[in-house]
Amino acid sequence: MPKPVKMMQEMKRRSGPGCIMVRDDKRGMVPADGKFDHAYNTFLRVLDPRGDSPESAAIRHALACSTDLRFVEFGKRIMQRDSRGHRQPCLATVAKQCAISLSEFDAWADKSSAQWATSIAHRASPRIMSDMVKAAQTRKEPCSRCDGTGEIELNKKPRTCPLCKGAGEVDKIGDAHSQDKVLETAGVVGKKSGASVKLVQNFGTIESATDRLNKVTFEVASSETKVASSETKEEPDAAN
């Protein structure tokens, strides 16, 4: 018996007696009746558009908002009840009645999931940005030198803390990464390509003083180089 004939017989045996097969562009021959399409039923069972979970509610919302009227109709039909109060038990049957193939439903589900994730991110972004702004700001914290008392003991005598000047608190500079992100969002600095506005902060720290010393050293070295260069040029004249 030819192999294609054996495959058809096997599909009919799995689908059920008297099952009519139709051609699907992506899947080949599939059962026309949804209740025999096991792959389609498994997919929709996992998707669970009738469920009570937040995910199922989001899927129903996506179906109602779809620009494809077939999916809108599917969302309506799966929730409808007949005169006896029963719903259509087979989701794949409803999908086939709405002329939706398994591959089309799979593509729609992927796209809807991505849109749902983006929507969640957009709704959470104001709260995240508020936390990021707080992390980026300079705040007060207890002085590590005097433990917030404003005084230290020197030669068994109390002295004003040299770090906080008696205030008991010092400035804690905000998180640098949060500052970058906040400034990028505000458009003050550019993304990746560098800052469109360069902000220079000098808090009187050791690092800033070192930078100034390095600059002075560089300028002196440059002056010495110029002097040495001019003396070299003048030597031939002196020889003459």
**Exposure on the CB side of residue 41, measured as CA atoms within 13 A:** 14
How confident is the model at residue 225, as a pLDDT? 47
Round to whole Å and give the CA distance between 157 and 165.
16
Give 100-132 as a 3 state SS string.
CCHHHHHHHHHHHHHHHHHHHHHHHHHHHHHHH
Residue-range domain boundaries for the chain? 3-124, 135-197, 202-233
pLDDT tens for 71-116 read 999 999 999 988 888 888 899 999 999 999 999 999 999 999 898 8
**Exposure on the CB side of residue 158, measured as CA atoms within 13 A:** 6
pLDDT band at residue 15 under the 50/70/90 scheme:
very low
79 is written with which tokens? 């929730």
Note whether 33 and 20 are within 8 A (CB).
Answer: yes
217 is written with which tokens? 């050293």
Q: Provide the percentage of residues in the chain whose pLDDT is more than 70.
A: 71
pLDDT tens for 156-181 read 889 999 999 999 999 999 988 888 88
